[in-house]
């Protein structure tokens, strides 16, 4: 299939988009950045496809539905990779194209990976980028034919940690946000997510990459998102495999329990088998179909 080309013109702080392309996340200076050469790496893995490392220049890749098919809903996708790499295709571009078939406008967020060589404070860099992505999409909702009240965020594994952080840490933005623009996502989709940084159930590799090898107790609790759920946390769809030996299923269970404690509507699907990332089972169409059903039942696939 011939790839659609997007022409985006950047004038001041305004993006004018005709079709589809990767665009800079920040129109000017990147906050919390250390001046350093762009050392981003790209390599292809036989199992999971394209991997990006050393990301210091965050971007959004815009995936627009076919003409006349947009339903006004958008999803910002955060690929996983343990805060050490990003699975650009399997947990990004491929999912975005699947959303397009449902009339959903999708944005793949290539967020900065924590590294003191190009981040003043590595712990907040990814969250700044997630908040900026929500801000940019909400500001330009009319351009992309999106309803500003129908912008969700999705994340896989460590990307799920980032997405759940965006959904629980939005009250005090870490970026400059225009007046009247909220960085709260309207819903979350979390796929085998890292939720906790606690010793008992947390993914320690993601924690070490984001916070360093010896984070203090306060930092560990702050980024253990099952502890940050409150009455304003967005409605959430969660999916995980019971036999996940990389990110224990207790991450999803603890977040779901916290959501129910605060009476936040949520759906959770736990597969008996699937390991981490559903590489063999369940099929993409199976778990993604459940996600689409949940979105439909909440009205996000109805044209607006």
Question: Can you give the pLDDT at residue 11?
Answer: 33
Confidence of residue 304 (pLDDT cuts 50, 70, 90): confident
99, 116, 221 from 76: Cα distances, Å: 11, 26, 25
User: pLDDT tens, 54-105?
Assistant: 999 999 999 999 999 999 999 999 999 999 999 999 999 999 999 999 999 9
Which domains does the chain possess? Answer: 24-297 (3.40.50.1820)
Question: Can you give the pLDDT at residue 212?
Answer: 95
Query: What percent of the chain has a predicted confidence (pLDDT) above 70?
Result: 93
Question: Can you give the pLDDT at residue 147?
Answer: 97
Question: Can you give the pLDDT at residue 240?
Answer: 98
Average pLDDT over residues 153-182: 97
Contact between residue 153 and residue 167 where contact means Cβ atoms under 8 Å apart: yes
Average pLDDT over residues 231-259: 98
Average pLDDT over residues 184-211: 97
Confidence of residue 201 (pLDDT cuts 50, 70, 90): very high
46, 81, 145, 216, 239 from 155: Cα distances, Å: 22, 11, 23, 25, 11
* Residue that is written with structure tokens 């305004």 in the block: 14
User: pLDDT tens, 119-156?
Assistant: 999 999 999 999 999 999 999 999 999 999 999 999 99
Question: Can you give the pLDDT at residue 2?
Answer: 37
How many H-runs (helices) and E-runs (strands) does the chain carry? 7, 13
Average pLDDT over residues 169-173: 96
Q: CA torsion 167→187→162→128, rounded to 10°?
A: -60
User: pLDDT tens, 254-280?
Assistant: 999 999 999 999 999 999 999 999 999
């Amino acid at each position: 299939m011939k790839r659609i080309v997007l022409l985006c013109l950047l004038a001041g702080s305004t993006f004018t988009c005709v079709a589809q392309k990767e665009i800079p996340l920040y129109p000017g200076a990147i906050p919390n950045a250390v001046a350093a050469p762009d050392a981003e790496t790209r390599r292809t893995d036989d199992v999971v496809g394209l991997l990006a490392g050393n990301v210091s220049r965050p971007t959004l890749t815009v995936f627009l539905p076919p003409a006349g098919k947009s339903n006004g809903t958008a999803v910002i996708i955060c690929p996983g990779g343990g805060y050490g790499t990003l699975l650009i295709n399997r947990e990004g571009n491929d999912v975005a194209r699947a959303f397009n078939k449902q009339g959903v406008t999708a944005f793949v967020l290539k967020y900065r990976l924590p590294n003191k060589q190009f981040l003043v404070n590595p712990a907040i860099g990814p969250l700044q980028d997630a908040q900026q992505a929500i801000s940019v999409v909400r500001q330009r909702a009319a351009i992309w034919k999106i309803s500003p009240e129908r912008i969700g965020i999705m994340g896989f594994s460590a990307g799920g940690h980032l997405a759940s952080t965006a959904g629980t840490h939005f009250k005090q933005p870490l970026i400059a946000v225009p007046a009247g623009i909220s960085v709260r996502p309207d819903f979350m989709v979390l796929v085998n997510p890292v939720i906790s940084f606690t010793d008992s159930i947390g993914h320690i590799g993601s924690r070490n990459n984001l916070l360093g090898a010896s984070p203090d107790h306060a930092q560990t609790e702050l980024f253990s998102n099952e502890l940050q759920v409150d009455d304003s946390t967005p409605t959430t769809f969660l999916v995980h495999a019971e036999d996940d030996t990389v990110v224990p299923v207790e991450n999803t269970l603890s977040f779901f329990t916290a959501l129910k404690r605060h009476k936040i509507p949520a759906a959770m699907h736990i597969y008996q088998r699937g390991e981490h990332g559903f590489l063999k089972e369940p099929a993409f169409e199976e778990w993604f179909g459940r996600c689409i059903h949940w979105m439909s039942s909440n009205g996000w696939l109805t044209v607006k």
